[in-house]
Structure 1
């Protein structure tokens, strides 16, 4: 008799030098049916990534040796894995910098392990753990670009794949589904959960700015992602099935 396929548990890498914090979060993730691995610094993180793959990385800013910002830049240059950054309470500049260099979300210390777990689940649903929702989506085309929701891939007019973070991809998908419609920052946050832990306006603006850097010919004079004064944003491209 054939055995049913084993359920693949999400694998989370926690890069945190405070062992008590890391152990507390790992324990909560295990209770939530996830696998957790702890790395105390960038060297241990690299070793873990060399030995296996992870579905999401929780990354502390203050680490011995190479700091979290540097590690985030390095990770984002080579992979699209969702990243949640842990920052010191009240350090807004840390949170903004984290989003600007490619983090998908951030949480300030001290934090609730269950809150972080909820954020992890939210990001995972929007990445690789929503196959039923992705299967009904068709690829879309705009201004020569192609967005494939099932594979979560974006290709430029030349056919080259462009790397987007989870938050950036989710934002672009929402815009493609609503071309010509003004979307408020609150609506964008509700659809994407981008930057859940911070001020709505600043978090969404940072992600939109990064998205413009990747899809606009001139990000300083955007033709696709328009800012609507006192409104939000509007996707000005014509979107059609690919």
Structure 2
């Protein structure tokens, strides 16, 4: 049996039960179901979850607002389930701290596969962190994989798991160019149509934390039509 704890948040009992059954067939037993935002917030106060699957349309609080509340205390990967299929809604969810999204109606096995991919990456991340310290100091920021900390201008910045993993991947490969697809495959562990937006938003979130002027980035630069690369500051 798997030991990871998963929180499923959706006001549709049928979806909760379906995902619960599928995950249990895959060996996950520590599954908590919540039908409201209030129940979800109560659950995270008592349990450390390894993955949160979050519906956007909840009866007492929309999922975007709930994600913002969750991000005040947890860095757990958040996968949005949303019937709002417009790019604006997807981007909003990612900007507010979501790590991934699937639109309704969805293929249940795709959701399970994405959950497993996130959990595998998190387990690998935690396993590697037990080894030698991995620390990068570049100009005004320091990122420490072992402690999970991002320090910018001597101030610790909240950094959800996927943002931290993406930044660490850039730091390990300075001055190398990667497409959005390559970054998604390396950091998220899978690739399906539309996931390039996830990478774009995470890069935008990192720029807001790292760059003096996010609209004119100097650290994580865009090479139009090619991809992205991390350019260490001179002397950094």
- Distance 1:229-1:150 versus aligned 2 partners, 3 A rule: same
Question: What is the TM-score when the length of structure 1 is the normalising length?
Answer: 0.87
Could you tell me how far apart the structure 2 residues matched to 1:116 and 1:240 are?
44
Superposed, which structure 2 residues align to 1:49-88 within 5 Å?
49-88=44-83
Supply the distance in 1 between the matched residues of 2:190 and 2:100 (Cα, whole angstroms): 5
* Counterpart check, 1:146 vs 2:136: no
224 and 65 in structure 1: CA distance in 2 versus 1, 3 angstrom threshold: same
Contact 1:179 1:239 in 2 (8 A): no
Q: Map Cα deviations across residues 124-154 of structure 1 (whole Å, 9 max, x no partner).
A: 2333554333325621221142222233322
Kindly tell me the number of residue pairs found equivalent between the two proteins. Answer: 234
- Shift of the alpha carbon at 1:209? 0.6
Query: What is the alpha-carbon distance in structure 2 between the residues aligned to residue 89 and residue 67 of structure 1?
Result: 12
Aligned equivalents of 1:18 and 1:68: distance in 2?
14
Could you say which residue in structure 2 is the equivalent of 1:32? 26
| 2:204 aligned with 1:209 | yes
Alignment of 1:114 with 2:85, yes or no, is: no
In structure 2, how many angstroms separate the alpha carbons of the residues matched to 1:15 and 1:240? 47
> Residue in 2 aligned with 1:3?
none
Structure 2, gaps ≥5 residues long = none
Correspondences of 1:219-230 after superposition (within 5 Å): 219-230=214-225
Q: Secondary structure at the match of 2:71?
A: helix
Q: Secondary structure at the match of 1:127?
A: helix
Give the Cα separation in 2 of the matches to 1:129 and 1:183: 21
Q: 1:46-90 CA deviation, whole Å, 9 max, x = no partner?
A: 221223221111100111021111101111133211100001163
Displacement of 1:197 in angstroms is 5.3
Deviating more after overlay: 81-90 vs 62-71: 81-90
Match of 2:229 in 1: 234
Gap regions ≥5 residues in structure 1 = 1-6
- Provide, for residues 179-235 of structure 1, a one-character-per-residue CA deviation record: whole Å limited to 9, x for no partner: 112222122122112895552442221111111011112211212111112211121
* Coordinate RMSD, CA, aligned: 2.4
* TM-score where L is the length of structure 2: 0.89
Moved over 6 A (4+): none
Correspondent of 1:11 among 5, 21, 27: 5
